[in-house]
């Protein structure tokens, strides 16, 4: 029964070819450092799942943001666990992304023909940092408020465009309900869309071009 269904689906979608290209492709001899990319992807999936669960109860307004976070943490069954997974997952994702890029750099895997793969990875690091920055404000407590004040002020001192960047980030001169809504929207819509697109391109290039092996002493 399942074999016939699989054949029927394969005739229409060619899923077996996709499966073989992704999971049965030949790879060179590697070591555990090559698992950093897969670990980063796993943490990204954790962030997506736990983030979706958190948005079911989080209220992105100055009057209710902190209270909703406290409700998730202290009253919602397993809420503390889900929030903890998301909180520490954010730090792990930054660390793993940096470690993955450092591995690629020191192993020389950014060279021809993998330059575009490297560039998408660098942009992904910027997106990951953006996730951390925009998500830090969402609890709307004193630490988040003043850290975001300082962070946005750093952008404001950029030559020529600093004032414009500051107003765009804050939605005005100071932090307000507009800032919180802007950071929340960026955190759950803009950055995830960018992440999904870039990860798709990155994985396509990894599958199509392949990965480089561990450099030998002669190289």
Contact between residue 210 and residue 27 where contact means Cβ atoms under 8 Å apart: yes
Q: Where are the chain's structural domains?
A: 33-209
Distance between CA atoms of residues 73 and 83, nearest Å = 7
Tokens 């995830």 locate to 192
Average pLDDT, the chain: 94
Say how far apart CA 18 and CA 38 lie, in whole Å: 18
Cα–Cα distances in angstroms (integers) from residue 189 to residues 49, 71, 120, 131, 185, in the given order = 14, 24, 19, 11, 6
Q: Contact, 193 vs 150, CB < 8 A?
A: no
* 153-167 pLDDT per residue, tens: 999 999 999 999 999
Please report where in the chains the tokens 């029964």 appear, as a residue. Answer: 1
Structure tokens at 66: 């902190």
Q: What is the reported pLDDT for 116?
A: 97
CB atoms under 10 Å from CB of 18, counted, come to: 12
Structure tokens at 41: 């992807």
pLDDT digits (tens, 9 = 90+) for 34-48: 999 999 999 999 999
Q: Which fold has domain 33-209?
A: Cytochrome Bc1 Complex; Chain C (1.20.810)
């Amino acid at each position: 029964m399942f074999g016939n269904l699989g054949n029927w689906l394969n005739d229409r979608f060619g899923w077996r070819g996709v499966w073989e290209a992704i999971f049965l492709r030949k790879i060179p001899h590697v070591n555990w450092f090559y698992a950093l990319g897969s670990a980063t992807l796993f943490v990204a999936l954790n962030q997506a799942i736990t983030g979706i669960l958190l948005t079911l109860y989080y209220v992105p307004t100055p009057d209710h943001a902190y209270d909703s976070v406290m409700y998730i943490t202290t009253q919602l069954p397993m809420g503390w666990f889900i929030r903890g997974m998301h909180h520490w997952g954010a730090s792990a994702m930054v660390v793993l992304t940096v470690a993955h890029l450092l591995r690629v750099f020191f192993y020389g895997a950014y060279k021809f023909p993998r330059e575009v793969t490297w560039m998408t990875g660098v942009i992904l690091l910027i997106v990951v940092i953006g996730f951390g920055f925009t998500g830090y404000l969402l609890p709307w407590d004193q630490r988040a408020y003043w850290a975001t004040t300082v962070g946005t002020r750093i952008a404001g001192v950029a030559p020529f465009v600093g004032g414009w960047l500051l107003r765009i980030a804050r939605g005005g001169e100071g932090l307000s309900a507009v800032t919180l809504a802007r950071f929340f929207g960026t955190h759950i819509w803009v950055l995830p869309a960018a992440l999904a697109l870039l990860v798709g391109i990155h994985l396509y290039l990894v599958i199509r071009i392949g990965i480089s092996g561990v450099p030998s002493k002669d190289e």
